Amino acid sequence: MPVLYLAGSLAGIAMLVGLNFLLFGRVRPEVGTVDSITQRLMRDIPGFRPGRTIIGADRRVAVIENAATRTLVLVEAIGDSLVTRQLTQGFLANVGRLGARLSLELRDFTYPRAVLVAPSERVARDWEARLKP
Amino acid sequence: MQLPNPTELATPLFIGLVVAEMIFVRLAGRGRYEMRDTATSLIMGFASVVSGGAFAFLFIAFARVLAPYRIADLGYAWWAFIAAFLLDDLTYYWWHRASHRIRWLWADHVQHHSSQHYNLSTALRQPVTGAFTPGLFFRAPLLLLGFPLPMIVFVHGLNLVYQFWIHTEAIKRFPAWFESVMNTPSHHRVHHATNARYLDSNYAGVLIVWDRMFGTFVAEREDDTPHYGIVKNLGTYNPVRVALHEWVGLFNDVTRARSLRDAGLYLFAPPGWSPDGSRETSDSIKRRWNEYRAAEMAGE
C-alpha cells in the first residue's frame, strides 16, 4: 500500500476534523429537559412513562424512573447524542457516593462509569438507596 | 490483468464530498455533524484500509484453494465485468443480511453502525476486524464460477464506492423509477435506523431489487423519522473500544456458556440471543413494539 496514500489519508482526516470544528464547534453535552428525555425514552422503550427524575448539576447525566415498569433508566449526553441504559439487575455493578456526588459503575465495555452530581447530599442519599443493586 | 483500486482512486472524491456535505449541513441545517464522532469514523475508515491491506493475503489464499474447483474460466470480457458486478452485489446482499443476523459477523459489522449520526463520514466508519469472521465464504460463488480474482476485487470496490454517497440526510428522495431499482439515501437511512419498524431491512449494496425480491425491503416513512445507531448505543468515541466492544461481549458470552450448544448459539444466533431470553433481539423488539402499538390502537 503506497505510503503516500496513507499519509494523504491521515492529512485528509486532520483536515476534515478541523473543518468540522470550524463549522460546528465543540458541542457541550447536555441531557436536556425531562420532556426531551421522555421523548427519547419513549422511542427507545415502548410504553415508557416518566416517573421520578434526577438530572445532574452539570446536566450531563440523568436517572429517570420508568413508571410503567418501576425500573430506572440512566441517560448520559455524549457529544450531541444521548446514550441510555436500563439499569437492570446485574448491569449496575456498584453505586458509590461522596457527598452529593453519585458514581455508578456499569458492566459495560463502552460505558463503564457514570457520575451524577445531585443538588444536595440528602437527594444523593435518597437516589443512592434507589440505585443500590 | 492489472485493474485499478476504485476505493483508492475515489478517496479524494470522498474527502471533497464530506467537505461539501459539512458546508451544506451548516448552511441548510439538514443533517448533523459532531467533531468527535467524525474523528472516530474517519480514523476507523483509515484503520479499515490498513487492516484490509494487512489481511489481503487471506482472500488470495482462499481464492487459490478454490481455484482447482472453478467450473469455468470467464476471463475479462466486457459482459463478465457486468455479470461479476451483479453477482457481487447479490452476494453482498446475503453477506450483509447474515452480518445482521449472525452475531459472529455482527461483531465486525456493528462497527459501521455504531454512530448515532448519519452523514458521509459515517460511510467511512468501516469495520477493522473482518479477517476474524467467516465473511470470506460469501465470495466463494464468484470464485467458483470462474471470475478472475482481480475482477472480483475491482467490482467489489465499485460496489463500495457506490455505497459511499448514500450515507446522507442531505438528499431526500429520487424519482420513483430510481428508488425502485437502486439503493438510495432514503433506503439506506432506513437500514441504519433503530426505529423498531426499520430494524433488519434494506441490506442492498447497489440494487435495492434484492431486498424487494427477498422480502426485506422497508420504505422510509415521513411519520417515522429514522434515528440512527444501534439498539444499545455506545458510550464512547474511542475507536479501539468501538472496534472491540461486540467482540468482548461475544468472547465473554462464549467462554461463560453453560453448554456447547449455548456457545454455538452465542456465535451463530442473532445478536441479543441469550439462553434465558432475557436480552433483546431485533425480533423481540419488533414483537414488543407491535404488541404496544396494537394495545395503543385498542385503547383508542
pLDDT given at position B300:
64
A1 belongs to a structural domain: no
- The set of residues, in sequence order, having a beta carbon less than 8 Å from that of B15 and lying 6+ positions away, is A12, A15, A16
Summarize the confidence of residues B18-44 as an average pLDDT.
Answer: 97
**pLDDT band with cut points at 50, 70 and 90 for residue A3:** confident
CB-nearest partner of B241 from A19, A23, A109: A109
Instruction: Tell whether A14 is covered by a domain.
Output: no
In this prediction, residue A133 carries a pLDDT of 65
Across the interface, do B23 and A76 touch by the CB < 8 Å criterion? no
Residue A87 lies in a domain: yes
For residue A21, being part of any structural domain is answered with: no
Nearest to A111 among B43, B227, B236 (CB): B236
Residue located via cell numbers 440505585? A131
Instruction: Describe chain A by its helix, strand, coil percentages, rounded to 5.
Output: 35, 35, 35
* Nearest residue of chain B to residue A16 (CA atoms): B19
The answer to whether residue A28 is domain-embedded is no
DSSP string for B57-74? HHHHHHHHHHGGG-S---
For A61, nearest residue in chain B (alpha carbons)? B235
Instruction: Copy the grid coordinates of residue B27.
Output: 448552511
Say which of A17, A23, A26 has its CB closest to residue B26. Answer: A23
Distance from CA of A24 to the nearest CA of B (A): 7
Q: Do A24 and B241 touch (CB under 8 A)?
A: no
B142-177: per-residue pLDDT in tens? 999 999 999 999 999 999 999 999 999 999 999 999
* C-beta atoms of A79 and B37 within 8 A: yes
Q: Which residue range is the domain that position A99 belongs to?
A: 34-131
Evaluate if residue A2 carries a pLDDT over 80.
Answer: no
Can you give the CATH number for the domain in which A65 is found?
Answer: 2.30.29
Place of cell 434494506: B202
Q: How far is A75 from chain B (nearest CA, A)?
A: 10
Classify residue A73: in a domain, yes or no: yes
Q: Total domain count for chain A? A: 1
Closest-CA distance, A13 to chain B, in angstroms, reads 6
Does residue B75 carry a pLDDT above 70? yes
Chain A partners within 8 Å of B235 (Cβ): 76, 78, 83, 85, 108, 110-111
pTM of the model: 0.94
Distances (CA, A) of B262 to A35, B12, B135, B141, B249: 41, 47, 22, 30, 14
